[in-house]
Amino acid sequence: MSIESLILIVVIVVLVFMCLLIFLTRYKKCPSDKIMVIYGKVGQNSDGTNRTSRCIHGGAAFIWPVIQAYQYLDLTPLSIQVDLKSALSRQNIRIDVPSIFTVGISTEQGIMQNAAERLLGLQMTEIQELAKDIIFGQLRLVIATMDIEEINTDRDKFLEAVSRNVESELKKIGLRLINVNVTDISDESGYITALGKEAAAKAINDAKKSVAEKVRDGSIGEANAQRDQRVEVATANSKAITGENTAKIEIAQSDAARREKEAEATRIATAAEKVQAAKALEEAYAAEKLAELARSSREKATLEADVIVKAEIRKRQIELEAEAEAERLRRQAAGEADAIYAKMEAEARGMQEILKKQASGFADIVDAAGGNAKNALMLMLADKMEDLMKVQVEAIRDLKIDKVTVWDGGQAGKDGKSSTANFLSGLMKSIPPMNEIFEMAGMELPEFLGKKSAIRRPQRLWMFRARNLQRLPKPRPKRCRSRWTIRAPQRSKAT
């Protein structure tokens, strides 16, 4: 075996060992009291979006180097002391509800993902403060929806409402509620104390009433027994001493005196019992009066709280609706302003492009004319010559002449033309010449189109108007051999 082959084998063995070592070091196991959060490139969700993390509770997973990393979330429960003070109940009475909440990070799949997104990297004290803020708000909300009697007597209902509201909010950040313990409930106004005193007074009065009734029953039974005893004794004595009248009289007097004393004692005992029963009823009525006063005060506070809370809710709703309407109008005005600005900007860009194209075309014409702007202008005029001639011809094309009457003497003029021919020639010449058009525009006719001749113009001036045609002689000839009559649509005549 050569040295090169040996080196290659050693390199392969080292690479395999390093790969195995990397695999062993990147294969992580999750303890039972922790959640392992793997983040980085962890795949996609069912809707095609990238997953932010992958949570594992128990088991193990391989952490790919470079593209993945991991951290642990501690599942140790957190005990949170919540000393809620001056919480407003539905009766508008402020109470103090000190309690202890036990929370922890949830191991449910969806809630565990929330914990990975919102609690990863936070210390236990930071998580505790965050949960404490949520518990404070939900506890105040539950107390505001319940009466003090429900909170104080039906603790199960109160704890169930607190657990339901608090746990639904804690799940949003990945926590779950483990236990709720309310230590004591008190209020500033002494309403709960008054309820306790009312219950104690009622129990005491019931006990006193029961004792008085038992004493009364015992006295009546004792009196009945004594009566029976007296009757039997008297019967026995009467049968025993039937022969001795004196003894009977003494016995009868003695019995009468004894019965008198016994009756007096019975009367005193009965009166004392009735007096005690009356006092017990008086105390009971006084306690019931206090209870009714407390109950009327509570109902009055409840009605006032309902009216004030509804008014505040309505006021806040109106303010929110007004703010929403103002925001909608502001956004609508901003959108219209942006649309107008975009339209004007587009029109300006279009006009700028048109002017640029015209300037570019004129520059090309000047370049074609050898850089001479005057020759370029001549080229442009030569291109438009046909249009200018068409404008001259169409100046009288649509002129409506109803009737033309001509009297001609038949004599030819100096140029060999008759008067009728001169009339038609003058009619065409009455159109403004091209040279005059250029002069009215402040320009001069190019020489290659012709020069202005020195021949005098005819002494006749024709004026065209929109509705008639007039011939004004300057000067009027001495003799007129021809006569023309032009009848316009309005039946006006010109001679």
Q: Is 152 left (phi over 0), alpha (psi -120 to 50) or beta?
A: alpha
Average pLDDT over residues 247-265: 84
Asked if residue 375 has pLDDT above 80, the reply is: no
What is the pLDDT at residue 483?
Answer: 43
pLDDT tens track for 360-372: 887 888 887 777 7
Task: List residues bridging with 469 in a β-sheet.
Answer: 464
Asked if residue 198 has pLDDT above 70, the reply is: no
What is the pLDDT at residue 468?
Answer: 40
Output the CA–CA distances (angstroms, integers) from residue 33 to 29, 39, 80, in the order listed. Answer: 12, 20, 20
Average pLDDT over residues 473-478: 46
Tell me the one-letter amino acid at 327. E
- Reported as type and span, the H/E element at residue 402 is none
Given pLDDT bands bounded at 50, 70 and 90, which one contains residue 103? very high
Give backbone dihedrals phi and psi of 114, rounded to 5 degrees, phi first. Answer: -65, -40
Q: Are 280 and 212 in contact (CB under 8 A)?
A: yes
Asked if residue 387 has pLDDT above 80, the reply is: no
155-170 and 124-144 helices, crossing angle to 10°: 130
- C-alpha span between 273 and 213 (Å, rounded): 9
Q: Which residues contact 95 (CB under 8 A, 6 or more apart)?
A: 86, 87, 89, 143, 148, 151, 185, 186, 187, 188, 192
- C-alpha span between 359 and 372 (Å, rounded): 16
Q: Are 158 and 151 in contact (CB under 8 A)?
A: yes
- C-alpha span between 313 and 321 (Å, rounded): 12
Give the number of other CB atoms < 10 A from CB of residue 399: 13
34: nearest Cα among 75, 83, 81: 75
Output the CA–CA distances (angstroms, integers) from residue 388 to 393, 394, 436, 464, in the order listed. Answer: 9, 10, 13, 19
What is the pLDDT at residue 60?
Answer: 87
Q: Are 79 and 102 in contact (CB under 8 A)?
A: yes
Given pLDDT bands bounded at 50, 70 and 90, which one contains residue 469? very low
Given pLDDT bands bounded at 50, 70 and 90, which one contains residue 199? low
Higher pLDDT, 50 or 481: 50
Given pLDDT bands bounded at 50, 70 and 90, which one contains residue 9? confident
| Domain 76-189 belongs in CATH node 3.40.50.300 | no
Asked if residue 193 has pLDDT above 60, the reply is: yes
Kind of pairing between the strands at 68-74 and 60-62: unpaired
pLDDT tens track for 405-458: 555 555 555 566 666 556 656 655 555 565 666 665 555 656 655 555 554 444
Tell me the one-letter amino acid at 41. K
Structure tokens given for 482: 């021809």
What is the pLDDT at residue 464?
Answer: 36
Give the number of other CB atoms < 10 A from CB of residue 175: 25
96: nearest Cα among 187, 31, 192, 179: 187
pTM of full prediction above 0.75? no
